[in-house]
Chains A and B, each alone.
Chain A
């Protein structure tokens, strides 16, 4: 009996796949090597002990305070934007799409510098906020601003592709069943695009948690896990950063597991 078509296609000895498989294999090795080397440098005891130091605990607390807020802000404003971009047709749409992608392309440290020019303490906005007792730099709010700027595009891009993959006729059916535009988005579009939206939210969270470059510029203090890793590295070398590094790595693994289980990254992101 012949083997099923797909398993035949996946045979590693397929001549047609041999060359790309070798090249791709090298890529996988290069990607995996640092993870293996990094994790193998330490045991679980060292990680727990390292995370128990006061500085590490403050950094973990700050990161766990700011990254969810940045994710929430990006989601609350980004998902509606994603829907508008997926469904709307209006002048300037292309410019907005480029603006959304730009923070992903701009080096984070440059993004942080740009944020400083907009909301730094010597700018009108920054000065007014500081005078009102809510400083936008060197504060947890500053961290949130930096994280939102850099990580926000993930939820917009992924959700946009998710909404675009929902056939308009589902929304038309809902409208003809008596529901208005907002109720239709809530009852039909969001649930049908939920896989992509969940993926976008998780990617944004992971990116916000690991955000370093822009945060360094906008809010070097209070320390988050990535900025604390930098401080620890300067003071104690590579071994000093392993506990926080492993912690961030663990979060990334959990995020990917959640995306695998509940989320769906659309195979094609149209721009």
Chain B
């Protein structure tokens, strides 16, 4: 039909009109056409989109989406000692939040107890300090574990923290079958982006797969891994790299679990994903839709999944921390709202909205409330939840979704050719691709080719002061004393024996989770179990590529 002939239009009416002298590209530097028309959209509705809850799930993993159930509003929280974060949890639940998400401090995340030399200055600062089961008991005091689902962001020491959560549930009389939640536990992206590790990639992958297997059999409502693009993007990747490297990590976990003889439909329904929501609205919506389509095809065609639940990509998403500015920080409220809206338009199952003051320090209670209210306004006031995938069928959105799928698949094929993600990580391939993209973006900012409002354009001489949360430095000393007291008072023979059994499991290849649960029960700490990993599997050091 001549009306939709894009080339004619480009050469005619468009060329005759004025165009601003800028490069029209996404924040990831993907060039965008002035117009998308039916010429840009190929393929049939049923093959490429499908209705919500129908293969390939481009329009949504569930039939009724937000008309059936809104996304889970899950704000990431953690600071200070266990009792401080416990109070923040109760505050958030009282404000209408319906799931918890735990931020641990750096020592816990890296497998050190508070009383370790390397923990100096870091205890309770970036998250909550948890060294033993006693801290875990305090952290979740008064929380109904069979009703509220919990997400725990922890990776190289995830096996220990999951064991502590399960033992804590057990002591509170909640059976493992009724405990629901997610543990991030995505070690591949640690080597690629977030860089919290203990041992090298291969044994790290083995621990992840042990947990996938263990949860599939013993904790059926638990997501043993949340395959994360968030940190890849925060590290400076493009949207396509985030999509591609994350799905390639997913492929690696599926292959590893299947190589143990697990049936794909036994564990794949509990694999979940975690995406970043950045500033470029259309690119983000397209990314989320492309992710579902690619995963569905991979699971069905490559891995032979039969269950629909294995083919549907379910995800959590968080607004982009790296997009926030220290300058004119109240502007961050606007950024977060737009990013969160992209997540909702893209059909996420769970969402965290950042607080305006996060470039300055951990968020204050007030800032967290504005962030949560942002989600509630999107859910209750904007009307975007009334119809499913409201942007579906837009020429621009469908063309971008196709483009992101094609570009991500090119990366995935390249990683396949390298022998898979473990091999690619060893050569530093994804790490270097991300560093290149981060550097290129920084240069664009400095040449004013990309704009950050309040930083390289519309800046003002005075900073707008806002209140920030202060972490009492004295609490480090209190946590050290607490951990030392526990270590003095527990039965040291039982701890020693339990740790020995963890070490034996490291060597024999039997699933690590049962002996770790036993060790946690008798009071073994995060640091002590991580030390077993260090001794048995070795320590990974940063290759320091620039």
A complexed with B: no
Residues of A within 8 A of B (CB): none
